[in-house]
Chains A and B, each alone.
Chain A
Amino acid sequence: MQKLIVTSLLLIFTSATSLAQEGDTRAEIRELREKLERLEKKMAEDEAQKAKRAEVEKAAIAEQVKKDVISEVATKGQSFFGRIIEQTKVGAYGSMRYGTSNLDDLHNTFTFRRFVLTVDSPISERLKANMELEFERFTSLELDKNLTRTSGGGLTSEVAIEGTSKSEISMEQAWMQYDIADWLKFRGGAVLVPLGRFNINHDDNRWDLPRRSLVDRGVPVLPATAAWPELGAGFLGDISVGNTGKVSYQWYVMNGVTLNSEVEQIGQTRAGDTTKLAYEVKLQPSRGTFSDDVKTGKSIGTRWAYSPWLGDEIAASLYWGRYTPDFLPSKPVISFSFDGKKTWGPFEIEGEYVNTQWSGVRSVARGLAQRAITSSSEGEVGDVETEVEFELANLASRKQGYWLDFRYRFWPDFLNKTILGSQFSNPQLIATFRAEQVWFSGLLNQIAFTDGSLTEFKTQNRLVNRFTAGLTYRPVPLVALQLAYEYTRTNKGKSLSTVTNFLPAKEGEYFQNAFLMGLAFGF
């Protein structure tokens, strides 16, 4: 009985155990099946995602191809002129200044220095055109011309010109370029003369001081004031030297600088004296004509620059050509320049030296005397005195000078949280110190001639020094807000107005202190 009970119990226990084991296996199988199902589902999802991604990519490619085709069709369908207009870009640069001065006739003034419209167009892959039209201190120019009947019989011809003081409209550049190779590009038209580094980089918004250099502009040592274009043709290009070096050149044949006449008409009433009507014909060097040249000889201008690495450059340039019109003795002007730039991190030194020799100034004066016969003629009819005067101006046997800029670029971090820095990605402050000197040897002071003979020929030697210290804020590269102090001085007791073309100094005013605020912009 006992055995039976034990056997039965064993049987019950064994079957219960096996039943439990069977249950575990089933659960495991179920779990495995579920896992498999999940994996299958995930794989299916991944596949679907992959297919979707491929579809999106395919659609993107199709869309791009479609766009390319449409654009190609549109381009092909577009007229040549349509394409040119679309590719042509109009830009500009300009500058204005507020200045105070110790000179009696200058005091303080706003000056709109210039507004220059720029247009460039890639005519085709290798051909491009460029143009710069300058409006200097320009507000308006009005011309009125009438031919009417005079009451009571006769004809009346009237011409009235209305304009603003010292205004000028000038073509600064207008050329076409054919890019044959990097080292050989043909350029023809009104090109900037490659003498020194300022003339070819003259845009106001590229410089950090609110006044151009003396050598290039204010007391010009360049044969003509910058920006100085001439009509001609030539070549330019860049040649790589090693891994980091580069040689750049420009070489042009041009009409060139010539003595041109400037006629000043003066109407003057004088207390206790007759009314004066004067015509002053001033022959002085100016840019060559864009029309028929008045002289047989052409001029050459060339500049060769070597840059051993980015940021540094040294260059030499030369200009040579006849400057006298055909009715005067043939005399050349020779000008050479050395310029360069050196960068050490935020420090920069940039400068230019120019030396110009006007040959045969006395001989030219003699020639003018023979042609013009009399330098000064006057006559009086009733209460009106009329005077006609011929003179030679701005010639010196030798002019030489330099400018040297020392710059330091910086930006304190704390300014990033101010209005000066918060909105801009790379604002800058630039501290600049400029030293300039110009020497004139044999500067023509006065000439007189009667009956075709030179009776007076006076020259003088002069010196002009200028030091400028300035601080410029550039929120973006093309905009500059400038502050500067400048000190200009010439020989003691002499007037600054007789050597500079921008300072209305009285006799004896030989120095100037000036504070300037400038704004230059480009777009």
Chain B
Amino acid sequence: MNMLRKWFWLVCLLSSLGIPLLASAQEGIFLREEEAPKAVFPEGTSFDRKMIRSTEELKEKIRQRMGKAKTSVWEDSYVTFIAKKGDTILGYAVIVEEIGKHRPITFVVGVGNDRKIKDAALMVYREAYGGEVRDRRFLQQYKGKELKDPLLPYRDIQNISGATLSVEAIGRGSKKALVLVDLIYLEDAERK
């Protein structure tokens, strides 16, 4: 009986160790830069990449418009995309970074011409906990949100228990993207 039990545990352990070898792999980086705009504007047919250099003036404007939400990372420059379907501009995608607990979270935010978030997608998550923020069911809460919304857990965003800091980071980054699109693209278009 004892021998049988030993074999049972051995088989359990070995099969446990063997399964990984058969399993398909998944990258830790969830989206690369070239895939990012398509993730938030799936109907887009072309994406014009434009790099926006961050200046002190731009930072100050972003800071003012973000209000109480204080960004944890000031990027040197922002990678942005103009998403088009044929000749029609669908909106703008911005890649932003915010610190979760200890490490930066990189994600893309798609903003429509109506100044509302079309979608958001996680590109790189580096924290040990809270990876659930990349789930579709979490990110789809941001659709339709605009700058005046709090974008905060327990306010207008359903929190993920144990990942509150990451949830707050996604909110801050989304606000940063909304301000940036407004400053760089939408206000310019209105002036013209």
The CA-CA distance from A341 to B136 in the complex, in Å, is: 20
A179 in contact with B28 (CB, 8 Å) = yes
Tell which of A181, A310, A409 touches B137, judged by Cβ atoms closer than 8 Å.
A310
Q: 1/0 per position for B153-181, CB-CB distance to A under 8 A?
A: 11100111110110010000000000000
Is B70 at the interface (CB under 8 A from chain A)? yes
**Which residues of B lie under 8 Å from residue A201 when comparing CB positions?**
161-162
Is B69 at the interface (CB under 8 A from chain A)? yes
B174 shortest CB reach to chain A, Å: 14
Tell which of B28, B158, B165 touches A310, judged by Cβ atoms closer than 8 Å.
B158
Is A246 at the interface (CB under 8 A from chain B)? yes
Is B12 at the interface (CB under 8 A from chain A)? yes
B152 in contact with A425 (CB, 8 Å) = yes
The CA-CA distance from A235 to B16 in the complex, in Å, is: 8
**Which residues of A lie under 8 Å from residue B155 when comparing CB positions?**
426
Within 8 A of A (CB), among B95-124: 101-103
A309 in contact with B137 (CB, 8 Å) = yes
The CA-CA distance from A440 to B175 in the complex, in Å, is: 53
The CA-CA distance from A297 to B12 in the complex, in Å, is: 13
The CA-CA distance from A351 to B86 in the complex, in Å, is: 53
B25 in contact with A343 (CB, 8 Å) = no
The CA-CA distance from A362 to B76 in the complex, in Å, is: 71
A343 in contact with B24 (CB, 8 Å) = no
A243 in contact with B138 (CB, 8 Å) = no
Count class of interface residues, chain A: 35 or more
The CA-CA distance from A206 to B161 in the complex, in Å, is: 8
Is B73 at the interface (CB under 8 A from chain A)? no
Is A23 at the interface (CB under 8 A from chain B)? no
The CA-CA distance from A125 to B27 in the complex, in Å, is: 8
The CA-CA distance from A208 to B104 in the complex, in Å, is: 28
A343 in contact with B158 (CB, 8 Å) = yes
Is B51 at the interface (CB under 8 A from chain A)? yes
Q: A125-B27, A181-B25, A298-B9 are in contact. Are A425 and B70 (CB under 8 A)?
A: yes
Q: A64-B77, A253-B9, A253-B12 are in contact. Are A246 and B28 (CB under 8 A)?
A: no
Is B2 at the interface (CB under 8 A from chain A)? yes
A89 in contact with B103 (CB, 8 Å) = yes
The CA-CA distance from A182 to B26 in the complex, in Å, is: 7
Is A122 at the interface (CB under 8 A from chain B)? yes
Q: A56-B53, A130-B128, A428-B154 are in contact. Are A179 and B26 (CB under 8 A)?
A: yes
The CA-CA distance from A367 to B155 in the complex, in Å, is: 59
B52 shortest CB reach to chain A, Å: 8
Is B20 at the interface (CB under 8 A from chain A)? yes
**Which residues of A lie under 8 Å from residue B189 when comparing CB positions?**
none
Given contacts A91-B102, A201-B162, A426-B154, 15 further A-B contacts (CB under 8 A): A57-B50, A60-B53, A61-B51, A125-B27, A126-B28, A179-B26, A180-B23, A184-B20, A253-B16, A310-B141, A310-B158, A341-B161, A409-B154, A425-B68, A426-B168
A selection of 22 A-B contacts at a CB cut-off of 8 Å is A91-B102, A125-B28, A126-B28, A179-B28, A180-B26, A186-B17, A206-B162, A243-B136, A244-B137, A245-B137, A253-B16, A297-B5, A310-B135, A311-B158, A311-B159, A341-B161, A409-B154, A426-B150, A426-B155, A426-B168, A477-B168, A478-B165
Q: Enumerate chain B interface residues (CB-CB to A < 8 A).
A: 2, 5-6, 9, 12-13, 16-17, 19-20, 23-29, 50-51, 53, 68-70, 76-77, 101-103, 126, 128, 132, 135-138, 141, 150, 152-155, 158-162, 164-165, 168
